[in-house]
Structure 1
Amino acid sequence: MASRKIQKSRSGSYLISLPKSWVEESGLNKGDRVEMRKNEEGLLTLQLTERKRKMKFNLKLEDFSDIRTLEDSIKACYMQGAETIEVTSEKETMTEEKELLRPLVLELIGSEIYKDRPRLLSFRVLVDPTKFSIPNLIQRIYNLIESVHEDAITALENKNPALASGSGKRGDDAKRLYRLMIRELKISAIDSGVAESIGVEGKGEDLVYTIAARDLSRMAHHTVRFAEIISESGDGLSEEDIDEIMNISEIVREMEEKAVKALLNKDIPLAREVIDFMEKIKELDEDYVKNPNLEQIDSQACEIHTKGCLDPEMCDLRTSLSRNLRRIAGYSVALADNAIVGAVPKFRE
């Protein structure tokens, strides 16, 4: 048993040094945190944080039925806060599998290939969890959503589908930021120091932001899909169609913007505005899809939706555009609901 002398700093804090051997064996470095807990008898115990104890994952190739499942699991380990992810195999070599796995570093911010052996591929995550605040990540994801939506509407308005191209790349960027956001929140849930650094106040806010990350991810997905449909549509939409879509889109974009502001500013009245918009979106969507502005020659030519439509492809195009906008609106409402949940703790006595 080692003993240490208690010292006092100029600021009045009491200090005690840690045994060098214990620090080195634990893999701790300057700036790392440890947990101090006081038991019922008044004794203090010192232990590593959960993040330090569980920073390494080992995945065996033979435990996965296909490479895509393994890829998903590596991404999940990253989001769980892993610092090292090892993929090992009982095979003599896994050359083919490693070639498929290496590109994952492009999807996981701050990661790199650490070790590459015949039976081993190791990923290391170097990103500092304290360098990305959660409000900043939310804003960055929203900025990508906004830019994709804006380009899609510009392409529609100018009848130039090419202007909506490139949305998939920004969608991929949104996914990367989503994974990083979940990773940050997972680490902050077990490390109060990280939580404080990234702007998370307690576990209640951890949950609010985790749900918000999911909603933003789905919002990004449907915005990208909306843009892709426009880029693939050519000249398939009439002036009446474009006007209808523009009308719905304008409201949806306002919902997106206000939902994010409500979440970041803990603004309940603003969140309520977003929720109130949803009935209007439902009404516009149903009117647009069920009443196509197309010449109807044979009411039984196409039984898509409520009324007959001469051109099934046109019906599908119109429906896809409108319904993706409606889903974006739905996730904006979910974000607004979550904003209210995140805001009410300020009323706690």
Structure 2
Amino acid sequence: MEYRRLQMSKGGSFLISLPKEWVKSNGLQGGAVLKLTVSEGELRISADATGELEKGAVSYIRQAEGLERQIRSNYLFGADTIIVELGKRLTPAVREEIKGAIQKLIGLEIVEEDRDTVTIQCLLQPTSMPVLNTIRRAYSLAASMHRDAEEALLSQDSELASSVVRRDDEVDRLYFLIVRQLRLAIRNPTVAEKLGIRPSECLDMRMAAKYVETIADYAGAVASSVPKLGSGTDSELIDALVSLSKQAYGIHEKAASALFKKDLALADSVLEENKSLSQSLLSVNELLMTKQPRIAALLDSIAIYFYQIGAHGIDLAELVSGTPA
């Protein structure tokens, strides 16, 4: 670390000298244009005057084990190009695994393919979708999954339940895109600026995205349970579960609204519902104790899923409470 003294010219401008070694190593001369970025009380000076290049790394995968995980990991890290090169002919099974992996990640396409190598490229610019918009889209999907999972439970509609489960994959795709964007934003203030966030907000945005993705997971779990119930399930129990579901939905709906509007008062009102949500779960459990063990265990799982959905809504509200309006 180096310290420089700020100076003032006769005309009132402020001046600071640059380290000679840095100037020479970047091939700069008098009259060169530098880029200045102000962020979180810091002033960053870049020798790249255009400063707009958003190049990710080129990553190589040379191990067949855990191929899908490796592709996802490189995507999340921000790689623009991923080259699968295993040192031998790629079998049809490996090629299918690669195709299956990239279908779960937004923007990835196979751009080149031969006997021994597959080249994957991310064709989506990281700044083409502001992070908050992506989270908003993911939440919209998760909320619709919750509504439809509740309706499928109430009407015993297995077809609707299946559609909820399928939609979970799209929420996962959006979540992975958000993680990729946030990691790039942490490393590059220019990217953060274009995404409409400050580097200090990246952690909260990551947590918000995870809470939304988990809400979708639990909605999918409820939907997956619907075909197992069969017909003739006690209407009193179903009504109690639907009531818990509606309470949970109201919580995360208000929490998401508070997050997007940075409404601290609305977020605080959500936090006050924590005790009421727990009491609602307890009431359902007391009702389940009077029922047959097999059906009670399955309905208890559904009750916990709905409770967790509401609890993650409260987690969303806690993020807003720490965000200045």
TM-score (norm 1): 0.76
Question: Deviations along 1:23-71, whole A, 9 cap, x unmatched?
Answer: xxxxxxxxxxx8889xxxxxx7626989867521111125x3xxxx221
The aligned residue for residue 326 of structure 1 is: 307
Distance 2:216 2:227 in 1: 16
Tell me the amino acid that sits aligned with residue 111 of structure 1: L
- Contact 1:80/1:186 (8 A) holds in 2: yes
User: 38, 54, 62: which one pairs with 1:60?
Assistant: 62
- Contact 1:108/1:176 (8 A) holds in 2: yes
Tell me the amino acid that sits aligned with residue 278 of structure 1: N
The aligned residue for residue 182 of structure 2 is: 185
The aligned residue for residue 198 of structure 1 is: 195
User: 164, 169, 172: which one pairs with 1:167?
Assistant: 164
User: 216, 222, 233: which one pairs with 1:237?
Assistant: 233
User: 118, 142, 167: which one pairs with 1:145?
Assistant: 142
1:164–1:96 Cα change, 3 Å? closer
Distance 1:132 1:243 in 2: 40
- Contact 2:54/2:191 (8 A) holds in 1: no
Distance 2:56 2:157 in 1: 51
The aligned residue for residue 151 of structure 2 is: 154
Task: Say how many residue pairs are matched.
Answer: 293
1:198-237 to 2 correspondence within 5 Å? Answer: 198-200=195-197, 202-237=198-233
What secondary structure sits across from 2:273 in the alignment? Answer: helix
Distance 2:36 2:120 in 1: 27
1:78-157 to 2 correspondence within 5 Å? Answer: 78-157=75-154
What secondary structure sits across from 1:207 in the alignment? Answer: helix
What secondary structure sits across from 1:235 in the alignment? Answer: coil
1:36–1:220 Cα change, 3 Å? closer
Distance 2:159 2:186 in 1: 43
What secondary structure sits across from 2:126 in the alignment? Answer: coil
- Contact 2:222/2:302 (8 A) holds in 1: yes
The aligned residue for residue 41 of structure 2 is: none
The aligned residue for residue 47 of structure 2 is: 46
TM-score (norm 2): 0.81
Percent identity of the aligned residues? 25
Question: What is the Cα deviation at residue 121 of structure 1?
Answer: 1.7
Q: What CA RMSD, in Å, does the superposition of the two structures yield over aligned residues? A: 2.7
Tell me the amino acid that sits aligned with residue 269 of structure 1: A
The unaligned stretches of length 5 or more in structure 2 are 1-23, 39-44
Distance 2:93 2:52 in 1: 35
1:86–1:291 Cα change, 3 Å? same
1:229–1:45 Cα change, 3 Å? closer
User: 259, 262, 266: which one pairs with 2:258?
Assistant: 262
Tell me the amino acid that sits aligned with residue 277 of structure 2: I
Distance 1:314 1:224 in 2: 19
Question: What is the Cα deviation at residue 3 of structure 1?
Answer: 7.2
